[in-house]
Amino acid sequence: MTGLDFIALLPLLILAAATVIVMLAIAIHRCHALSAALTFVGLGASFGSLWISACRVPCKVTPLLLIDRYSLFYMGLITVASLVVVLLSYGYFEKLDGDHDELYILMLVATLGSAVLVSSNHFISFFLGLELLSVPLYGMIAYTRRRPLPLEAGVKYLVLAAVSATFMLFGMALVYGALGTMRFDQMATQLVLPGFDPWLVIPGLTLIITGFGFKLALAPFHIWTPDIYQGAPAPVAAYVATISKGAMFALLLRYFYQIEAQGQAPVMTVFAVIAIVSMCAGNILALLQDNVKRILAYSSIAHLGYLVVAFQASGQLAIIAVGFYLVAYFITMLGAFGIVAVLSGSAGDADSLSDYRGLFWRRPVVASVFTLMLFSLAGIPVTAGFIGKFYIVAAGASVAMWSQIIVLVVTSAIGLFYYLRIVVAIFSDSAGSADAGPAIALPGSVALGFLTAALVFLGVYPQPLLGLIRSLPPG
Amino acid sequence: MNLLNIVLALPAAGFLIGLLLPKGNAGVARTFALIVSLVTFIASLGLLAPVMANHAAMQWVTDVPWIASPNIHYHVGLDGISVWLVILTTLLTPICVLLSWNYIRQRPKEFYIFLLLLEFGLAGVFCALDLFLFYVFWEVSLVPMYFLIGIWGYDRRIYAAVKFFIYTMTGSVLMLAAMIYIYGRAGTFDYPAIVGMLNSGSLRFGSAEQLPLFLAFFLAFAIKVPLFPLHTWLPDAHGEAPTAGSIMLAAVMLKMGCYGLIRFCLPLFPNAARQSGNWIITLAIIGIIYGALVAMVQPNMKRLVAYSSVSHLGFVVLGIFSFSQQGADGAVYQMLNHGISTGALFALVGLLHERGHTLEIKHYGGVATAAPWLAVAFMITSLASIGLPSLNNFVGEFLVLQGAALSYFPWAVWAAIGVILSAVYMLWFYQRLFFGKMPEAVKTHVYDLKAREWLAIVPLIVMMVWMGTAAQTFLPSITAVNARILEQSKANVEFQVKLRNEPNRAEASVEPESIHVR
């Protein structure tokens, strides 16, 4: 480790320091606003330090971490998303009784774990990052512990994360046993040599994919998702839906890119099946739901399925498609859960479809933002989601994955129906009073305003972001 | 910033500024919408001059890069067909505002700004010259229409709006996939560039490619037209939409499908289009007769007019796929005619509904006594819709029938049955509404046209007479563009015929793979 390494590691170090500072601040003076503000500043400083690190990349910090433009980009995405979640959490938890300060510590640790994940280059850092991300999430999901649903969701997530970590570990052990290395960049060279045992590598990779499948909530490993999303407090659900999945997906792309798995037919077949099953399951099961958070959960399953389609199309277009789609997915999911968060009161989350009936006539701005988010999820033009979906289809078409594209097109059309159900509810006549309810706290409005602006800007003028993503080789 | 961009920007700016208008104040909202749409209409008239001077070439072209990779441009322009459709859109928007003046009492601000957004999307569809941009406008026009039906419609509005949205979206997503495929082959979304490549032979779609691509585009357009048997969303959407929604839907939105067929399907996939011509025409003729027969027995005024649209638009498809100059000219002319006369029919039905508060025909009767001028306006519009000589539809139907007869005579015979049936259902419809015994409700509620309503209806009636008597104002520019489109679609076929040295073009187009071996 040299001084240069520390500069490259600056975003991670700041996150770690911010965790300690918030913890000390809580020990000295317990104050929700102060903890949230310190967390916000810490995340902001970490985001700002990305530009300092950018001067030193690419840089291998020990064999464990590889800090390059790719990991910095995803770190930036993760920290900005965390900033948004902090803003949403402040307004959300302020309405509830009890102490909320520890949530921010957990969130900072989870963000640190995600940042380690996107920069890992080794099974050890991979697993470290994974656990750093998962363990705080148990606490975050069950944070409003006096309510029954969050507690149940927290325990479910604990069991699930433990199981997926076990799969992952066993898979890593098998791959290590066959190849004799845990470094991603060395695996590729080992894989081209003859003499390794494919009967260790293929099951190993399959187990690792299973682990990924659990964490990304890809079908058929998706069963937990709706329960967790429904149970978790809305800002935490936003965190699980975006940051936790986004970090895993960025790692998935880098790992399989580095070991050049695009050439391995069995591995790609597994992904093709996963993508098709996820798109179908997510979009069709969402039709049966009446709870907005559950609808969003199934929708996120489908969206991860779309991402896997893009992931399989190797090459530049796939990297652009995945990168752009992840950004669009982050914006829309944060926005959608953000709406749920700002509308929720002390009685419970506003997640039943009837809570949204006539929303447009009570709160036109909030309702318009939600409608835009839903249109983006449905992939309607002038939103980031449309450009993202366009790139995914383009990436798939460039390598002629027609069966998956047809499934994507057909299931998106089905998906339209449940997004429209929410839109219909929003615009239907409100049966009750025209009472707008309490005003939305400033942090929440700032967060939603930022997300809406980003959504429309990327939908109309995606060029700057596309240019940035183009300059990020994941290897 | 040329005039076309201004015409596009005005309603978009109106939409954005309209968001800031005070909530619930109908007076401000409708005045604002009327001013914006009138200014847009006047500005759009200025688009005509250069197009009239040079019919076939694209005018008012703006081409600026939008997204670098894939290469997407903001590329718009107008030729002798699209200019008329843009003007049709801008003409009908202020008329819709006038007709909604007192009718829309709930949430007026939202209604009018959605109407302006709709105008923006529809006008954009007709001038987009980049496939991606075309798709964007296509979808942008879908969203406000969905809200117009879903919020201000009648009882079953939600069902109708969702059905409309999902039908259209399903077709258009397939079209998007086909566009991306074309991009993969041509390396550009630029429509003139792609047509240029096809004409010069540097880009060829083999039959294995052409047919699926054609079908993907065709399905999106046929749903929108709507062609039998994909028409089932239309009566629901019309039956539930508010007056302005019905007018814009029938008069302009259905034309998006027709326009797409003639602008994209024919020049881009000539072989597949000709190969599929026979069964498409069969569907069109079924639509003409079926639509007319079903219209005859509708108890609901709006559904009756909706089914008559299915019938009329069958003529448009028949004209386009007859692959003759007259047929294509008639089809385009019929697109404009249908916009004017069916727009007027929906307007008048809307006025009746405003008075009688029901769409059921059986609740009316003897309206001619209660509202003689309304009856006159309705009579002229009905006669135009039937195709009476000296009114607009006659010219279009005549040209379509002539074109169909030149291609294959029995088609014209079958289609002519539709013309006869249209007289049956329209006159019977008129008789039931305006003559006979007058129910008490009609006597007390139905009053004659007011000044504002005159203002909305008269321009349409003037257009009916003008287009019926002075078709030469419109036809030369349409003919010039159609000639070029037919030439483009023929070029490919003839090329094959020569190459394969086979007289039967249908057989030749089955195996166009050989063209790659050039």
State whether B177 and A364 contact (CB < 8 Å): no
The pLDDT value given to residue B217: 92
Measure in Å the smallest separation between the Cα of A245 and chain B Cα atoms. Answer: 27
Burial grade of B420 (CB within 10 A; 0-12, 13-18, 19 or more): exposed
d(CA A21, CA A248): 27
Contacts of A398 in chain B (CB under 8 A): 184
Location of structure tokens 């909305």: B456
Residue B402 lies in domain: 272-493
Under 8 Å between Cβ of A62 and A412: no
Give the count of domains, chain B: 2
B20 and B124 co-located in one domain: yes
Distance CA A239, CA B361 (A): 57
Mean per-residue pLDDT for B380-394?
Answer: 90
HEC string of B225-255 equals CCCCCCCCHHHHHHHHCCHHHHHHHHHHHHH
Contact B273, B266 (CB under 8 A): yes
CA-nearest of A114, A79, A332 to A215 is A114
Q: Taking CB atoms and an 8 Å limit, are B147 and A427 in contact across chains? A: yes
Q: Are residues B357 and B231 in the same domain?
A: no
What is the C-alpha separation between B357 and B355, in angstroms, rounded? 6
Query: Burial level of A54, CB count in 10 A (0-12/13-18/19+)?
Result: middle
Nearest-angstrom CA–CA distance, B328 and B479: 8
Question: For chain B, what percent of residues have pLDDT higher than 70?
Answer: 95
* B139–A380 CB contact, under 8 Å: yes
Q: Based on the domain organization, do B94 and B204 belong to the same domain?
A: yes
DSSP SS3 for A182: coil
% of chain A exceeding 90 in pLDDT: 46
Residues 120-179 of B with CB under 8 A from A: 132, 135-136, 139-140, 142-143, 147, 150-151, 158, 161-162, 165-166, 169-170, 173-174, 176-177
Task: Pick B169's closest partner by Cβ from A361, A382, A416.
Answer: A416
pLDDT (0 to 100) of residue A12: 93
pLDDT of residue A374: 92
For residues B311 and B416, membership in a common domain is answered with yes
Structural domain includes residue B196: yes
Who contacts A317 (Cβ-Cβ below 8 Å, separation ≥6)? A391, A394, A395, A398
Average pLDDT, chain A: 88
- Distance separating alpha carbons of residues A219 and A213, to the nearest angstrom: 7
Pairing mode, if any, of strands B72-78 and B59-67? antiparallel
Which of B166, B174, B177 is the closest to A416 by Cβ?
Answer: B166
Query: Which pLDDT does position A42 carry in this prediction?
Result: 95
Q: What is the pLDDT of residues B433-484, one digit of tens each?
A: 888 888 887 778 888 888 888 888 999 999 999 988 888 888 888 888 888 8
DSSP string covering B327-349: HHHHHHHHHHHHHHHHHHHHHHH
A&B contacts, CB < 8 Å:
68
For residues B77 and B96, state if they share a domain. Answer: yes
Confidence of residue A474 (pLDDT cuts 50, 70, 90): low
Residue B500 lies in a domain: no
B342 and B301: one domain?
A: yes
Residue B66 sits in the same domain as residue B188: yes
Higher pLDDT, A303 or B502: A303
Q: Is pLDDT above 80 for B118?
A: yes
In the predicted model, is pLDDT for residue B511 greater than 70? no
On chain A, the residues whose CB falls within 8 A of the CB of B69 are: 320, 466, 470
Query: What is the rounded distance in angstroms from the CA atom of residue B337 to the CA atom of residue B210?
Result: 32
Strands (E), B19-121: 59-67, 72-78
Contact B143 A375 (CB under 8 A): yes
Q: What is the dihedral of CA A28, A29, A34, A39, to 10 degrees?
A: 30
Instruction: Tell me: do B231 and B321 sit in the same domain.
Output: no
Among A393, A406, A469, which would you mutate to test the B interface (most chain B Cβ atoms within 10 Å of its Cβ)?
A393
What is the per-residue pLDDT across A179-219, written as a single tens digit (0 to 9) for each? 888 888 888 887 777 777 778 888 888 899 999 999 899 98
B282 shares a domain with B253: no
Whether residues B146 and B176 share a domain: the answer is yes
**Residue of B402, B418, B229 lying closest to B322 (CA atoms):** B402
- Which one-letter amino acid corresponds to residue A65? L
The residues, ordered by sequence, that sit 6+ positions from B498 with a Cβ below 8 Å of its Cβ are: none
Tell me: pLDDT of B508 over 80: no
Q: How far is CA A417 from the centre of its chain?
A: 24
- Beta-carbon separation of B67 and A462 below 8 A: yes
Tell me the two tokens of residue B268: 């881009």
pLDDT in tens, B183-200: 888 888 899 888 888 888
Q: Band of the pLDDT at B180, cuts 50, 70, 90?
A: confident
Residue B91 lies in a domain: yes
Which amino acid belongs to residue B180?
I
pLDDT attached to residue A136: 94
Residue A371's H or E segment, with its range, is helix A364-378
Kindly give, in sequence order, each residue whose CB lies less than 8 Å from that of residue A261, ignoring residues fewer than 6 positions away.
A205, A267, A268
Would residue B499 count as lying in a domain?
Answer: no
Q: How confident is the model at residue A263 (pLDDT cuts 50, 70, 90)?
A: low
CB B486 within 8 A of CB B325: yes
Pick A62 or B492 by higher pLDDT. Answer: A62
B486 vs B491: CA distance, rounded Å: 8
Touching check for A416 and chain B: CB below 8 Å?
Answer: yes
Question: B300 - beta bridge partners?
Answer: B360
Answer whether residue A244 shows pLDDT above 80: yes
Q: Does A462 touch chain B (CB under 8 A)?
A: yes
Within A201-250, strands assigned E span none
Q: Yes or no: say if A135 and A116 are a contact pair by the CB < 8 Å rule.
A: no
Number of Cα atoms under 13 Å in the Cβ half of residue A265: 0
**For residue B503, is it within any domain?**
no
- pLDDT, one tens digit per residue, over B7-40 is 899 999 989 888 888 877 888 888 888 999 999 9
CB-CB contact of B198 with B264 (8 Å)? no
- Is B232 part of any domain? yes
Among A284-288, B270-274, B372-376, the least confident range:
B270-274
The β-bridge partners of A61 are A65
**Is the pLDDT assigned to residue A253 strictly greater than 80?**
yes
Per residue in B285-322, pLDDT (tens digit) is: 999 999 999 999 999 899 999 999 999 999 999 999 98
Indicate the residue among B233, B268, B303 that finishes a domain.
B268
Over residues B205-231, the pLDDT tens digits come to 887 888 889 999 999 999 998 888 888
- Per CB-CB distance under 8 Å, the chain A contacts of B212 are none
Q: Does the interface ipTM go beyond 0.90?
A: no
Question: Do B294 and B258 sit in the same domain of this protein?
Answer: no
pLDDT category at B516 given cuts 50, 70, 90 is: very low
Q: Which residue has the higher pLDDT, A429 or B157?
A: B157
Q: How confident is the model at residue A433 (pLDDT cuts 50, 70, 90)?
A: low
Residues whose CB falls within 8 Å of the CB of residue A7, separated by 6 or more in sequence, listed in order? A52, A53, A55, A56
Q: Which tens digits make up the pLDDT trace of A64-78?
A: 898 988 899 999 999
State the pLDDT at residue B289: 93
- Say yes or no: B197 and B279 in one domain: no
Q: pLDDT of B40-66, one tens digit each?
A: 999 998 888 888 887 778 888 888 888
Question: Which residues of B fall within a CB distance of 8 Å from A320?
Answer: 69
